[in-house]
Amino acid sequence: MRETDLQIDADGQLLHFLTTEGLHKDLMLSILDTAESFITIGKREIKKVPLLRGKTVVNLFFETSTRTRTTFEIAAKRLSADVINLNPQYSSTSKGETLLDTVRNLEAMHTDLFVVRHGNSGAAFMIAKHAPPHVRIINAGDGRHAHPTQAMLDMFTIRAHKGGFEKLRVAIVGDIMHSRVARSQIHALTTLGTAEVRVIAPRTLLPAGIERLGVHAFTDMRGGLEDVDVVILLRLQRERMSGALIPSEQEYFNLYGLTEDKLAYADKDVIVMHPGPMNRGLDIDSAVADGAHSVILPQVTYGIAIRMAVMALLMGGQAPQSRPTRRTRRPATTGRRRG
Amino acid sequence: MRETDLQIDADGQLLHFLTTEGLHKDLMLSILDTAESFITIGKREIKKVPLLRGKTVVNLFFETSTRTRTTFEIAAKRLSADVINLNPQYSSTSKGETLLDTVRNLEAMHTDLFVVRHGNSGAAFMIAKHAPPHVRIINAGDGRHAHPTQAMLDMFTIRAHKGGFEKLRVAIVGDIMHSRVARSQIHALTTLGTAEVRVIAPRTLLPAGIERLGVHAFTDMRGGLEDVDVVILLRLQRERMSGALIPSEQEYFNLYGLTEDKLAYADKDVIVMHPGPMNRGLDIDSAVADGAHSVILPQVTYGIAIRMAVMALLMGGQAPQSRPTRRTRRPATTGRRRG
Amino acid sequence: MRETDLQIDADGQLLHFLTTEGLHKDLMLSILDTAESFITIGKREIKKVPLLRGKTVVNLFFETSTRTRTTFEIAAKRLSADVINLNPQYSSTSKGETLLDTVRNLEAMHTDLFVVRHGNSGAAFMIAKHAPPHVRIINAGDGRHAHPTQAMLDMFTIRAHKGGFEKLRVAIVGDIMHSRVARSQIHALTTLGTAEVRVIAPRTLLPAGIERLGVHAFTDMRGGLEDVDVVILLRLQRERMSGALIPSEQEYFNLYGLTEDKLAYADKDVIVMHPGPMNRGLDIDSAVADGAHSVILPQVTYGIAIRMAVMALLMGGQAPQSRPTRRTRRPATTGRRRG
């Protein structure tokens, strides 16, 4: 069974949220629309809705990520769920069967939704494959594979600031090779009909055959950023430095760090995005991070709404009353599954 | 004052839950019956009841145990309590008086219920002895002494699958010597009238005089498992390996690990239990763990209900409306206390 | 901008709570009065009030302090807030700009109130200076600078046991030099009109010019404790021992540890306070800690009420119905700000 199939039920509804790869455009729009209805909740005097009252959400983070875990924790609590935070020691679950034992135990406690972060590609998929019918899985990042809620909050940000995708040139800059974020973004951008998706990286950080995903690859910022409407930076893992993949922090910043000078190649209304945490002076210059084109902090705000939306859709909850009606939720077209 | 007395008030009601030793059969049945009423809650759409609303439950785990702590956290939240998780560094409370200072401070914050896990036998008892009248203590494992909620969830499992205790042969297998779980199980099983309780272990892991607890001791699985209705495995602490108590993992598994071959000595309707986490290939073979006789995952489900029941009984709460009436809660008979 | 100004809005209301220095007496009394109304809540069957329902409180503890964090967590939950506990690694936020990135991210999640503990003096002030209008900051201890909620709970304790401040002699004993608690207490005590404030410490732990804060300095307990109505002990950090600041634990206890003998110099109705955790046998003798003059555990109880009061006042909430009327909340007099 493919993930694409596993995360959709027979009626085309979202069952788990594991990847943006193969996810139908209608479902992506449904997530974006639902998130939009939750944006207003964050601004209310009382920021809670009872959609997940009595549900137990387990943040199961085999890899530590305080930031991502916090966004899911806040999102779940605003939906009135009970939240359990767990950070199992990686070592004690190094064998797949023991990872499953851990998960089966939690499922036996009648928990409802797992938010899983794991260093191994495919971990969330494996958990979903073995989950009982009442349990839902969200992939909060698995190895180098996927980080779909990050991609969807990025799509939300682009739509909120640019209105749509069809006329846009979008460039993703940084360590494309090792980035689950880039992978999930590319699938989402192409599915949503983005006019042109580019990736920019040193040759050592560009995976071979990346063009097959429907993107244009660049190794220089001048060419890659030319006339783009959206720049999405990736966080450069400093540990890559120790290897031979990139020369030095200074040289990386000179060539690929986003400065105002390089940003001038882009469209004058370009927006700048970064999944955080930023390495100021390495992947981005502070003048850009805090500048007029930056939508980095709005991304964080939208991230809460996207996670609330995905949780609510998985748990079968209706979006709150203020849901916009400009896009109606259509069931995914049948006939595209079991491919 | 003995624990038996400390955990019961003058009216025979449960005041703290420290041990199954000396606990009256009626109270054990009351816990089991109350838990039964909570089983349905775990299956509801909204799994919360307001029995402990506004109460503060402190998970005070001097020994780390994510699994046990999680079950208490989920149980307390389903009862609508506020939960505080604390893992005091063992070193900073090495002196008894400082442990009491820690607890007194938490009590002064008007917390209501402490779930205590501690490496020292008697720690929960000491805390209960000094607790002010409004505070309740649950022993979630103290040294080699007792782990009464684990024992009660095991009793619940046996009753759920076998209907009662009077006609049963039950065998407990593993490191009887160092196990607080075994100790609490033996007291519960004998009190509930189990026909025969056996323990099976290598001679080095069998405490001298164990027969005085009313059990039959075996050093071989063939004899010990013959015709039993229930097998309860214990988790073998791998750190015992480094000592001279058992020869090797492989030899231990050959002699005492539960395989389908050995299970064939037991009754054909035998159930297999394990408190978890399992050491697959050491104390249990995967074919048995995941086999038709295993009730290991139901144990986890029942564990939530038992912990909800104990918390509800300690806080004076009534069980929810769906409580079964086939056993009525009788006050413990007087005259057996202050013995 | 000074902290004094930053924490008060144009109408004289509390905007953040960063320091007791320069805080107007009326606002201090308002905090004490509001806390009094919350004292009864801790004794109720259901200890929750909905004042902060739907609000998100972030405990942002760069320095670990389980005790202080727990009091804020309990206080926030009793006000029905959602609580997020974060312990960022100190190293990853060593640069000021990165600390601000962390905070800005959390603010973008529409969190409402930050409780900040940080090893650097001024950290909470810096965060407050950059906070958006809807966010409130409570300083839960910054370097050697301030710990205002601790000081206010101490004021509450004194008022509860002594009725007022005008006729009192109060002595603060211990490591005055390094103590943010002492600094905040001195500002609060002098503002509230305490007749005489004394500090007692070895010369090496007395900051030069301490008298400028309006206190009398003593290096011996006999002189310093003579006829005092209140003794406030400070916790001696054992790590000071390794330096040359104090001779030895035994000698420090002999000279400055509070014993019944030394307490006899004080007024016969003296109360003894300690912010905890106590070093029994170093800064206090057990006979005094557990004796008739000790109000150390009531301090903890009052601490919850004070933190509830500060949170409620910052979030604009009204105190619950049972609020006493003997002191009315007056707005701070105008004309004293922007000094």
C106 touches chain A (CB under 8 A): yes
pTM: 0.91
The answer to whether residue A30 sits within a structural domain is yes
* Whether residue B53 is found in the same domain as residue B93: yes
* Whether residue B140 is found in the same domain as residue B153: no
Percent of chain C topping pLDDT 90: 76
Percent of chain B topping pLDDT 70: 87
User: A281: distance to nearest CA of chain C, Å?
Assistant: 12
Mean pLDDT of chain A: 89
* Whether residue C140 is found in the same domain as residue C15: yes
pLDDT of residue C143: 92
Residues in chain B, total: 339
Please, are residues C148 and C17 in contact by the beta-carbon 8 Å criterion? yes
* Whether residue C173 is found in the same domain as residue C125: no
* Whether residue C34 is found in the same domain as residue C79: yes
Verify whether the Cβ–Cβ distance A105 to B77 is below 8 Å. no
pLDDT surpasses 60 at B92: no
Question: Structure tokens of C268?
Answer: 């016969």
* Whether residue A84 is found in the same domain as residue A204: no
pLDDT of residue B98: 78
Could you give the CA distance from residue A184 to residue A186 in angstroms, rounded to a whole number? 6
How many CB atoms neighbour CB C23 within 10 A?
Answer: 25
The answer to whether residue A135 sits within a structural domain is yes
Question: Structure tokens of C282?
Answer: 């170093």
Strand order in the sheet with A196-200: A216-218, A196-200, A169-173, A230-233, A271-273
More confident residue, C64 or A303: A303
* Whether residue A127 is found in the same domain as residue A105: yes
More confident residue, C96 or C64: C64
More confident residue, A9 or A171: A171
* Whether residue B219 is found in the same domain as residue B156: yes
* Whether residue B155 is found in the same domain as residue B192: yes
The rounded radius of gyration (Å) of the Cα atoms in chain B is 20
pLDDT of residue C326: 41
* Whether residue C68 is found in the same domain as residue C100: yes
Question: Structure tokens of C150?
Answer: 């601790």
In chain A, the number of structural domains is 2
pLDDT surpasses 60 at A339: no
- pLDDT confidence bin for A242, thresholds 50/70/90: low
Task: Name the residue range of residue C202's domain.
Answer: 149-298
* Whether residue B154 is found in the same domain as residue B293: yes
Q: Which of C42, C277, C286 faces B110 most closely, judged by CB atoms?
A: C42
Verify whether the Cβ–Cβ distance A108 to B73 is below 8 Å. no
Residue type, C134: H
Range in B10-14, B34-38, B142-146, C167-171 with the lowest mean pLDDT: B10-14
pLDDT of residue C120: 92
Per residue in B217-226, pLDDT (tens digit) is: 999 999 999 9
Average pLDDT over residues A233-246: 75
The answer to whether residue A339 sits within a structural domain is no
pLDDT of residue B316: 83
Q: How many CB pairs under 8 A join A and B?
A: 57
Residue B287 burial (10 A CB sphere; 0-12, 13-18, 19+): middle
The residue whose two tokens read 């503990």 is: C117
- pLDDT confidence bin for C321, thresholds 50/70/90: very low
pLDDT of residue C91: 43
Average pLDDT over residues C320-325: 43
Residue A169: strand, helix, or coil: strand
- pLDDT confidence bin for B247, thresholds 50/70/90: confident
Verify whether the Cβ–Cβ distance C108 to A298 is below 8 Å. yes
Mean pLDDT of chain C: 89
The answer to whether residue A91 sits within a structural domain is yes
**3 state SS for chain C:** CCHHHHCECCCCCECCECCCCCCCHHHHHHHHHHHHHHHHHHHCCCCCCHHHCCCEEEEEECCCCHHHHHHHHHHHHHCCCEEEEECCCHHHHCCHHHHHHHHHHHHHCCCCEEEEEECCCCHHHHHHHCCCCCCEEEEEEECCCECHHHHHHHHHHHHHHHCCCCCCEEEEECCCCCCHHHHHHHHHHHHCCCCEEEEECCHHHCCCCHHHHCCEEECCHHHHHCCCCEEEECCCCHHHHHCCCCCCHHHHHHHHCECHHHHCCCCCCCEEECCCCCCECCCECHHHHCCCCECHHHHHHHHHHHHHHHHHHHCCCCCCCCCCCCCCCCCCCCCCCCC
* Whether residue C213 is found in the same domain as residue C287: yes
Tell me if the bond preceding A277 is cis, omega within 30° of 0: yes
pLDDT surpasses 60 at B308: yes
Assign residue B169 the CATH number of its domain: 3.40.50.1370
Percent of chain A topping pLDDT 90: 76
Residue A232: strand, helix, or coil: strand
User: B338: distance to nearest CA of chain C, Å?
Assistant: 29
pLDDT of residue A47: 87
The answer to whether residue A329 sits within a structural domain is no
Question: Structure tokens of C298?
Answer: 């009531």
Query: How many secondary structure helices (H) and strands (E) does chain A include?
Result: 12, 9
List the subunits that have 3+ CB pairs under 8 angstroms with A.
B, C
Per residue in A59-95, pLDDT (tens digit) is: 999 988 888 999 999 999 999 999 999 988 654 454 4
- pLDDT confidence bin for C97, thresholds 50/70/90: low
Per residue in A135-192, pLDDT (tens digit) is: 999 999 999 999 999 999 999 999 999 999 999 999 999 999 999 999 999 999 999 9
User: C145: distance to nearest CA of chain B, Å?
Assistant: 25
The rounded radius of gyration (Å) of the Cα atoms in chain C is 20
- pLDDT confidence bin for B242, thresholds 50/70/90: low
ipTM field: 0.89
The answer to whether residue A319 sits within a structural domain is no
The answer to whether residue C120 sits within a structural domain is yes
B55 touches chain C (CB under 8 A): yes
B239 touches chain A (CB under 8 A): no
User: C267: distance to nearest CA of chain B, Å?
Assistant: 26
pLDDT surpasses 50 at A290: yes
The answer to whether residue A60 sits within a structural domain is yes
pLDDT of residue C99: 85
